[in-house]
Amino acid sequence: MPKMKTNRSAAKRFSVTGTGKVKRFRGGKGHINIKKTAKQMRRLVSPAFIEGKAATRIKTYI
Protein backbone atom coordinates (compact mmCIF):
# COMPACT_ATOMS: atom_id res chain seq x y z
CA MET A 1 0.00 0.00 0.00
CA PRO A 2 1.61 3.33 -1.01
CA LYS A 3 1.74 6.34 1.24
CA MET A 4 -1.12 8.85 1.07
CA LYS A 5 -0.30 12.09 -0.68
CA THR A 6 -0.63 15.32 1.27
CA ASN A 7 -3.55 17.49 0.20
CA ARG A 8 -1.59 20.64 -0.60
CA SER A 9 -4.56 23.00 -0.38
CA ALA A 10 -5.34 21.72 3.13
CA ALA A 11 -1.68 21.86 4.16
CA LYS A 12 -1.54 25.56 3.26
CA ARG A 13 -4.71 26.40 5.23
CA PHE A 14 -4.37 24.29 8.38
CA SER A 15 -1.60 23.29 10.74
CA VAL A 16 -1.45 20.86 13.64
CA THR A 17 -0.16 22.15 16.97
CA GLY A 18 2.12 20.26 19.30
CA THR A 19 -0.83 19.07 21.37
CA GLY A 20 -2.66 17.79 18.28
CA LYS A 21 -5.20 20.56 17.77
CA VAL A 22 -5.93 21.75 14.23
CA LYS A 23 -5.30 25.47 13.82
CA ARG A 24 -6.88 27.59 11.09
CA PHE A 25 -6.70 31.26 10.24
CA ARG A 26 -9.77 33.44 9.87
CA GLY A 27 -10.90 34.92 6.58
CA GLY A 28 -12.31 38.36 5.95
CA LYS A 29 -9.17 40.48 6.38
CA GLY A 30 -8.42 41.08 2.72
CA HIS A 31 -10.45 44.15 1.82
CA ILE A 32 -13.44 46.28 2.89
CA ASN A 33 -11.70 46.75 6.23
CA ILE A 34 -12.48 50.44 6.73
CA LYS A 35 -15.96 49.66 8.03
CA LYS A 36 -14.74 46.98 10.43
CA THR A 37 -14.03 48.03 13.99
CA ALA A 38 -10.65 47.61 15.66
CA LYS A 39 -12.20 44.93 17.87
CA GLN A 40 -13.33 42.97 14.81
CA MET A 41 -9.90 43.24 13.18
CA ARG A 42 -8.15 42.06 16.34
CA ARG A 43 -10.46 39.07 16.49
CA LEU A 44 -9.81 38.21 12.84
CA VAL A 45 -6.03 38.21 13.39
CA SER A 46 -6.13 35.53 16.10
CA PRO A 47 -6.21 31.91 14.91
CA ALA A 48 -9.13 29.57 15.54
CA PHE A 49 -9.10 25.87 16.37
CA ILE A 50 -11.17 23.14 14.75
CA GLU A 51 -12.63 20.43 16.95
CA GLY A 52 -14.46 17.15 16.61
CA LYS A 53 -14.86 15.06 13.50
CA ALA A 54 -13.85 17.92 11.22
CA ALA A 55 -10.43 18.04 12.89
CA THR A 56 -10.03 14.27 12.53
CA ARG A 57 -10.85 14.50 8.82
CA ILE A 58 -8.44 17.40 8.25
CA LYS A 59 -5.60 15.51 9.96
CA THR A 60 -5.87 12.80 7.32
CA TYR A 61 -5.31 15.40 4.59
CA ILE A 62 -2.19 16.91 6.13
Where are the domains positioned within the chain? 8-61
Tens place of pLDDT per residue across the chain (62 aa):
898 899 999 999 999 999 999 999 999 999 999 999 999 999 999 999 999 999 999 999 99
Alpha-carbon distance of 40 to 35, in angstroms, equals: 10
Find the distance separating the first CA and the last CA of the chain, reported in whole Å.
Answer: 18
Check residue 1 and give its pLDDT: 84
What residue type is 7 in one-letter code? Answer: N
Q: What is the mean pLDDT of the chain?
A: 95
Check residue 45 and give its pLDDT: 95
CATH number, domain 8-61 = 4.10.410.60
Check residue 49 and give its pLDDT: 97
CA neighbor of 14 nearest in space, from 4, 5, 25: 25
Is the C-alpha dihedral spanning 30, 34, 36, 40 positive or negative?
positive
0.75 cut: is pTM over it? yes
Hey, which bits of 1-62 come out as E strands? 14-16, 22-24, 48-50
